[in-house]
A = this chain, B = another copy of it.
Amino acid sequence: MQGVAQAGADGLLVTHLPNVYYLCGFTGSTGALLVESGRVTLFTDGRYAIQSREEVRHARVRVTRGSSLAAVGEYLRKGKKARMALDPAHLSVAEKSVLRRAAGRKMRWLARGGLVEELRAVKDAQEIVRMRSAARLGCIVFEEILPLVKPGVRELELAAEIEYRMRRRGAAGPAFDTIVASGTRAALPHARPTAKRLRKNELVVLDLGAILAHYCCDLTRTVYLGRAPARIRRWYQAVEEAKAAALEALRAGVAAGEVDAAARRVLRRSRLGQYFVHSTGHGLGLEVHEEPRLARGQRKLIRAGNVVTLEPGIYVEGVGGIRLEDDVAVFSDRNEVLTSAPRRFLEL
């Protein structure tokens, strides 16, 4: 990894599991990958002795007794390396202490955040293929459950149906807790599904994501049960236009914050700006929230190979909410919207 040398380090300790998977294929729940020039070593414990042997590519495996981080430290203490980089966002203060104690005082630890995330943000052709499949699965599930979205059904039941159908179609599971938020609960951007039953004349926000072959999709649609009042239709229209404006702004070379600004501008023009309480989107891949972040003031440039969500929304306390979300792959010359679920306002 070029970034490591540039960072002035002899190597990089990778502790964030999606990064470990990305670099060596290991899917266990405990492990640390030490990247040195010419040598990559996965440290994991006895539970993963067999599994790591089956999965790991491009790295040796050391099965440790007890803490893998302590083992990394002891290994480094015996070696000649003097400066190791690590990502401070993915190591707890307590883990750092274990590492420091085991490695000894001579080792200098350099805080270098996001090196692997930078690599992951740019998807290669094979990753795009997987993300297309994940997005397709999400959309199929959405269309499958639409007939079930009707008065009387509980939010929790719908969420269960959604996740069940994902898995039946091969997903490892949901990429995040499925959101089914109806009526005034739709005004909570991160509502958990409850035992509340859907009622006529309510908005229903459905936000779902599946993990297929390790890659995530993330899809939101908002529907109305019954015939919507004119105000709600206007809101829907405005959110859809905000998403379209973000898609228009999204291309390699622009600042991520510009994409956010494009969506925000549309909602502000419709006097809905104050109801848009989160950012416009985020990168998507092995994790459901990755680089780049499409948020206010983000100067990082969009690159070909980025896959992001576009998901403007408005949340009006006491009334409800509307969020619309698609997944989009950025290429050098065009965008590809990976999610094909219907975009028109569905009044069910």
Within 8 A of B (CB), among A128-160: 156-157, 159-160
Is B173 a contact partner of A167 (Cβ separation < 8 A)?
Answer: no
Structural contact, A172 and B160, CB atoms closer than 8 A: no
Contact pattern, A 40-67, Cβ under 8 Å of B = 1, otherwise 0: 0000001111110000000000000000
A160 / chain B contacts, CB cutoff of 8 Å: 164, 167-168
- The reply on A244 being an interface residue by CB < 8 A is no
Find A163's partner among B27, B97, B167, B277 (CB 8 Å cutoff): B167
Q: Is A93 an interface residue when CB atoms closer than 8 A count as contact? A: yes
Proximity bits, A316-327, B CB within 8 Å = 1, else 0: 010000000000
- Rounded to whole angstroms, the CA-CA distance of A159 and B167 in the bound complex is 8
Q: Does A192 contact B (CB under 8 A)?
A: yes
Copies in the complex: 2
Digitize A168-195: 1 where CB-to-B-CB distance is under 8 Å, 0 elsewhere.
1010110001000000000111111001
Provide the residues of chain B in CB contact with A48, threshold 8 Å.
190
A104 on interface, CB distance cutoff 8 Å: no
CB neighbours (8 Å) of A90 from chain B are 92
- How near does chain B come to A60, taking the closest CB pair, in angstroms? 19
Q: How far is the CA of A111 from the CA of B177 in the complex (A)?
A: 32
User: Known: A173-B177, A195-B170. Is A277-B46 also a contact (CB below 8 A)?
Assistant: yes
Specify which chain B residues have a CB less than 8 angstroms from the CB of A191 in the assembled complex.
51
Contact check, A167 vs B156: say whether CB atoms are below 8 A apart.
yes
* Nearest CB of B to A246, in Å: 19
For the complex, is A125 an interface residue (Cβ under 8 Å from B)?
no
- Of B87, B164, B278, the residue contacting A164 (CB under 8 A) is B164
Contact: A188 with B51, CB < 8 Å?
yes
A88 at the interface (CB under 8 A from B): yes
Q: Check A301 for interface membership: any CB of B closer than 8 A.
A: no
B47 near A277: Cβ-Cβ < 8 Å: yes
Chain A contact residues, CB within 8 Å of chain B: 27-29, 46-51, 87-97, 111, 113, 156-157, 159-161, 163-164, 167-168, 170, 172-173, 177, 187-192, 195, 277-278, 315, 317
